[in-house]
Each structure stands twice: as C-alpha cells, then as structure tokens.
C-alpha cells in the first residue's frame, strides 16, 4: 500500500489580539491508503486542531500536508468529516439529511441518492427515512451523520469523537458498524477519541499526542489478531490489557 496522507513538520498557532497559543508543534506522520489511524491524547493537546486542519478548516502556516501526493487544498471534495455533534438539519427528514452532502457537491443523481439510502439501510435506519432528527435518539442521529458523510464516497474519512456522547452499548454498536464498513470499503480513516479502549478496538495504529503544544509522542501498532475482530471481542482479547496499559502510560493526565 502506498502512502496516502503525509503530514510533515506541522506547527499550528492560534492568535487573538492579546496572545498566541501554539496548539501543535512539528507533527510528522504518514498514513497508508486504506488504513485506520486513531488519535488519542489528553485534553487540549491539539487533537481536534489536527483533524480540523486535515479537513481544511484552518490554513497551514508551518509545515505541509499532502493527500495522495497532492496539496490538501486541491483534495477537499475527497474528504468527509463527521463531528462529535451530528449537525443534522432539523427541518429535513432523515432521507433528506442523508442526501445533503450529495446536493452540496452537486452530485445528487438518482444513482447516488439510492446509494445514500442503501447506506441508511446499512446503518440500520432505512425504516426512519421519513422521520425528522428530533424523533431519533443520539445514537441514531450519529448513524445518520455517518451515512451522510459516506454517501459522498470520501477517500479520506475524518471523525472527531463521533461516539463520545453515546452510552456504551450504542458506542460499541457503532464502533462495530464503522469497523465493518472500513473493512468493506477500505477508506483511509482518521478518528479522534479520548477513549483508549475505542482506540485499540478500531485502529490499525494509534497516534498519541502529548503536551501543550501537542507533540507526537508515539505511534502504537495494533496487532493483526486484534485488528480483525469485532470491537466487543477486542475488549476481551488476551492482548487487550497490555495494549491498554501501554497506551495508558503514554497519555498525559
């Protein structure tokens, strides 16, 4: 597999009238096409900043990022971003929400809409297509948000704590769904989470950021025997405890 995402010497500063905050300092890593990277780290170490830069929401001042050898700016349409909060439009039905990205990109053909509705089925929500977001639970809305993002067939999928507000059963259910979609579609995926169990259950690799400004502390490889089993089983695997303890030691308070 070839390198798909390349981040080199990335430093990010926020400025306001009085002060400067360095959120990230000299971050470098690369990611193979089709792989799944999970980013963990203590609060404020720059996880969301890194994901937002990859999503094109902040300009790059120092360092560079390429996607498949091209500049990040030229690849925006190929990137899908799922936020912690589902951001569904309240006045649109679930079916209308799930095809929103297609409309925004001007590709809402019958075939693409059908694909979006198939994804809605895949996330187990085909039966609520005519409902409105307020009629769904938090977990259901996150599933709609995931289907909406996948509907535009992004080559790079970015997820910022997408399951953090969910109860444990819904969380593991959606982790399982995401892992199986990733296995089928092999989209390069980067997910940010605070949850070390989730990181081990989903990632091919886990990248640990630490400190203020955030620097790259470690990239931990997840063994194949764990990568290929469902998230609930991962938590009972004989290797799980030692991986969890390794990560625990690396993450700051």
Alpha-carbon distances of 205 from 4, 27, 32, 154, 228, rounded to whole Å: 15, 16, 11, 20, 13
Question: Residue 23, interface with ligand ATP (CB under 6 A)?
Answer: yes
Residue with smaller CB distance to ligand ATP, 14 or 127: 14
Among 6, 11, 21, 92, binds ligand ATP (CB under 6 A): 21
Question: Residue 45, interface with ligand ATP (CB under 6 A)?
Answer: yes
Question: Residue 138, interface with ligand ATP (CB under 6 A)?
Answer: no
DSSP E strands, 118-204: 156-160, 188-192
Contact positions with ligand ATP (CB under 6 A) in 188-217: 212
Q: How far is the CB of 218 from ligand ATP (least distance, A)?
A: 16
Among 46, 101, 203, 231, binds ligand ATP (CB under 6 A): 46
Question: Residue 19, interface with ligand ATP (CB under 6 A)?
Answer: no
Report how far residue 49's alpha carbon sits from residue 72's, in angstroms, rounded to the nearest whole number: 15
User: How is residue 223 annotated by DSSP?
Assistant: P
Residues 89-110, buried b or exposed e (16+ Cβ, 10 A)? eeeebbbebbbbbbeeeebbee
Residue with smaller CB distance to ligand ATP, 27 or 116: 27
Residue appearing with tokens 């890194």: 50
Residue pair 86/144 in contact by the 8 Å Cβ criterion: yes
Question: Residue 43, interface with ligand ATP (CB under 6 A)?
Answer: yes
Among 38, 41, 54, 97, binds ligand ATP (CB under 6 A): 41
Instruction: Name the residues that contact ligand ATP, by CB under 6 A.
Output: 14, 21, 23, 41, 43-49, 212
């Amino acid at each position: 597999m070839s390198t798909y995402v390349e981040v080199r010497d990335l430093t990010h500063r926020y400025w306001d009238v009085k002060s400067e905050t360095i959120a990230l300092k000299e971050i470098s890593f690369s990611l193979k096409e089709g792989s799944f990277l999970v980013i963990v780290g203590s609060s404020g170490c720059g996880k969301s900043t890194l994901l937002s830069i990859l999503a094109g929401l902040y300009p790059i001042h120092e360092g560079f990022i390429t996607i498949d050898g091209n500049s990040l700016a030229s690849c925006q349409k190929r990137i899908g971003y799922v936020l912690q909060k589902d951001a569904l439009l309240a006045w649109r039905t679930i079916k209308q929400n799930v095809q929103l990205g297609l409309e925004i990109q001007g590709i809402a053909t019958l075939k693409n809409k059908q694909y979006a509705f198939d994804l809605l089925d895949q996330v187990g929500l085909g039966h609520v297509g005519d409902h409105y977001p307020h009629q769904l639970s938090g977990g259901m809305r996150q599933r709609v948000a995931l289907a909406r993002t996948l509907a535009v067939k992004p080559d790079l999928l970015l997820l910022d704590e997408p399951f953090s507000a969910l109860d444990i059963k819904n969380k593991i259910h959606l982790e399982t769904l995401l892992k199986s979609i990733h296995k089928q579609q092999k989209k390069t995926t980067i997910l940010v989470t605070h949850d070390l169990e989730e990181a081990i259950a989903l990632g091919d690799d886990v990248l640990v950021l630490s400190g203020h400004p955030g620097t790259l502390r470690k990239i931990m490889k997840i063994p194949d025997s764990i990568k290929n089993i469902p998230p609930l089983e991962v938590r009972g695997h004989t290797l799980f405890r030692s991986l969890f303890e390794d990560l625990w030691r690396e993450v700051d308070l």
